[in-house]
Structure 1
Amino acid sequence: MILNGALINGAAVLAGGLAGSALKKGIPERLDRTLTQGLGLCVVFVGISGALKGEQVIIAILSMVIGTLFGELINIDRQLTRAGYCLQSRLIRGSSDSTFAESFVSCTIFVCVGAMAIVGSLQSGLSGNHEILYAKSLIDFVSTMVMAAALGPGAALASVPVFLYEAALTLSAGAVSALLTTPVVNEMTCVGSLIIMAIGFNMLKITDIKVANFLLAPFLPVLLCHFF
């Protein structure tokens, strides 16, 4: 089936999130804090590695500026946080865990942003080959498990947006493949990785950035690469 890759990836994120949530319950507070800091450092490293794929600084700058302006106008962070708290109230009654929404938002960005999601989805849609998304599923399972253990069960719900995102790319592969050339994907990865770095800095308590308000930025290179 054409959506097998997206389905497996979504299932892997859900399973990783549930496994990590179960592990979190048995982790002492001091270890939990240290684990979060260690994961934060890893997230920053992942962000730096991806950001280096960009070749045109002007595209990264314009994408971040324009994307942030629209993100702030829409206030995506508030909308996603509200969705996270709404899901929390329905799924975990009586819980006041303030990290639920943060975990949901952070993990959603982490698993959706990057070249593997884009290239893997296009490959699934164009050739029915799901190898890239299967490999990404394994990586996301481990990443989501660790993130859920550090931040909480909200990470498991990232399975829904990652499935919808990859399914949309897969089904529209024939129409968008000409736009998503290698240079465009590299610039998208670069901008998305800057957002991943912001997640890492937040986890390290260095900053308190509303990362969700940057969500439109990684898609802008699709347009900007045609002008630069």
Structure 2
Amino acid sequence: MVLLGTLVNGLAIIIGAWIGVNVKHFSQSMKDTVMKAIGLAVLVLGFTMTLEGTEFLILIFSLALGGIIGERMNIEGKLNELGSWLERKMKKSSDGKIAEGFVAATLLFVVGAMAIIGALDSGFRQDHSVLLTKSVLDGFSSIVFAATLGIGVMFSAVPVVIYQGLIALSATFIIQWLPEELLDVMISEITAVGGIMIIGIGLNLLGLPKIRIANLLPSIVIAVLFVLIYYRFF
């Protein structure tokens, strides 16, 4: 089943968020310390991912062009609007963190090497081991996120399932015409672009000046196109 790993990942996030929301003994100082610790760990992960890339120009141009497209589309604003809509529906206006939790968790769980490589593995080889490992990590992360940012974290399971599911399904078709060597390069460059965004998420978690990471999401698609063009003509 192509979507097995993706569905398990979504379920892990929902269960973890439910546990996190119902945890009552997290003090504010404890939550703050844990979030800062996660932010530091996310920074390390981002730097590690970024080093996977081999073509620095592809990285720069993908982020620049992707950022322009993302700002024009106002992706971050639309994600916040969706989170606010969920907040109104859940009548949790006194909390005020559903939008924040939804956006932060969605970006952290979606933008990453494991999400991309795991989904591709599910589609190419029916191997779900990477996504199952990611499910464990996301489950524990969602406990802390939900305890800190609220129930909005639970709804991040929806874009995670859609995103990873589309990649897995697309991979079943891509494998029919994409050379393995080109595929390896593409994954490396996507990982590097995702690493930059992960670094941005880490900085946001540390409370530093806000970076609109969601508006950089088109950079992943741009990176794929640049790799195809670069290796087709150069």
TM-score, length-scaled by structure 2 = 0.89
User: How many Å apart are 1:146 and its aligned residue?
Assistant: 2.2
In the alignment, residue 224 of structure 1 is paired with which amino acid? F
Distance 1:77 1:122 in 2: 26
The answer on whether the counterparts of 1:9 and 1:137 sit within 8 Å (CA) in structure 2 is: yes
Partner SS, residue 211 of structure 2: coil
Matches within 5 A, 1:108-187: 108-177=106-175, 178=178, 181-187=183-189
- Partners of 1:32 and 1:132 lie apart in 2 by 29
Cα shift readout 1:44-69 (whole Å, capped 9, x = no counterpart): 12111111111111111111110110
Q: Which residue of 1 aligns with 2:60?
A: 61
> What is the aligned partner in structure 1 of residue 17 from structure 2?
17
Structure 1 residues 2 and 227 mapped into 2: Cα distance closer, same or farther (>3 Å)? Answer: closer
Counterparts of 2:193 and 2:55, CA distance in 1: 11
Aligned-residue offset at 1:21: 2.1
Q: CA deviation at 1:214?
A: 1.0
Give the letter for the 2:121 counterpart. Answer: Q
Paired residue type of 1:56: E
SS in 2 for 1:205: coil
Which aligned pairs between 1:55-94 and structure 2 lie closer than 5 A?
A: 55-91=54-90, 93-94=91-92
Q: 2:210 maps to what in 1?
A: 208
CA-CA distance at 1:125 after TM superposition: 2.3
Paired AA for residue 206 in structure 1: L
* Partner Cα separation in structure 1 for residue 92 and residue 127 of structure 2: 44
**In 2, Cα distance between the equivalents of 1:118 and 1:11?**
18
**CA, structure 1 residues 151+225, in 2 after alignment: closer, same or farther (shift >3 Å)?**
same
* Post-superposition offset of 1:32: 2.0
Query: What is residue 97 of structure 1 aligned with on the other side?
Result: 95
Determine the C-alpha separation between the residues in 2 that align with 1:172 and 1:13.
Answer: 23
- Which amino acid is 1:196 matched to? I
CA shift for structure 1 position 94:
4.0
Range with bigger deviation, 36-45 or 116-125: 116-125
Name the CA distance, whole Å, in 2 between partners of 1:137 and 1:8: 7
* 2:33 aligned partner: 34
| Residues 36 and 151 in structure 1, CA contact (< 8 A), matched pair in contact too | no
List alignment gaps of at least 5 residues for structure 1.
none
Q: Secondary structure at the match of 1:55?
A: coil
SS at match of 1:45: helix
- Confirm or deny: 8 A CA contact 1:40 1:203 kept in the other structure: yes
The number of equivalent residue pairs is 226
Query: For the Cα contact (< 8 Å) 1:67–1:216, is it kept in 2?
Result: yes
Equivalence for 2:191: 189
The aligned amino acid for 1:203 is L
Compute the displacement of 1:213 (Å). Answer: 0.9
Within 5 Å, give how 1:34-53 maps onto structure 2: 34-53=33-52
Q: How far apart are the structure 2 equivalents of 1:50 and 1:98?
A: 33
Q: Percent identity?
A: 36
Change in Cα spacing, 1:95 to 1:112, as seen in structure 2 (3 Å) is same
